[in-house]
């Protein structure tokens, strides 16, 4: 399996969610968490229970990404979504 592991299980998502609160999560982990939250209602609920997390993500480096990084992130994301719906 050479594919980048973009989809993470709920356990991992919750773990990253916890790490994010203490600013211990890496940017890539937060990206994966955000992707997970888009399609996983259970974890959205988990994170919604924590307003601190939402705030942390908003204030995180994700906002500071340059345009090129955002663009490639978007492409990766769209590709991942396509694979998900196949």
Chain residues that interact with Zn ion, rule: CB under 5 A: 10, 13, 40, 43
Nearest distance, CB of residue 34 and Zn ion, angstroms = 12
* Sole residue written with tokens 């663009």: 71
With residues binned 3-state (H G I as helix, E B as strand, rest as coil), the percentages for the chain, rounded to 5, are: 75, 0, 25
19 vs 65 by CB, closer to Zn ion: 19
Least distance in angstroms from the C-beta of 74 to Zn ion: 22
| Cα within 13 Å of Cα(3), Cβ side | 9
Q: Which is nearer to Zn ion, 14 or 65 (CB)?
A: 14
Alpha-carbon radius of gyration of the chain? 13
CB of 53 to Zn ion, least distance (A): 14
């Amino acid at each position: 399996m050479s594919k980048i592991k973009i989809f993470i299980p709920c356990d991992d998502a919750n773990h990253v969610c916890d790490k994010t609160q203490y600013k211990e999560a890496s940017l890539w982990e937060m990206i994966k968490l955000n992707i997970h939250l888009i399609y996983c209602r259970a974890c959205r609920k988990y994170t919604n229970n924590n307003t601190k997390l939402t705030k942390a993500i908003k204030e995180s480096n994700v906002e500071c990404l340059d345009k090129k990084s955002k663009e490639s992130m978007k492409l990766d994301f769209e590709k991942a979504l396509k694979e998900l719906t196949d």
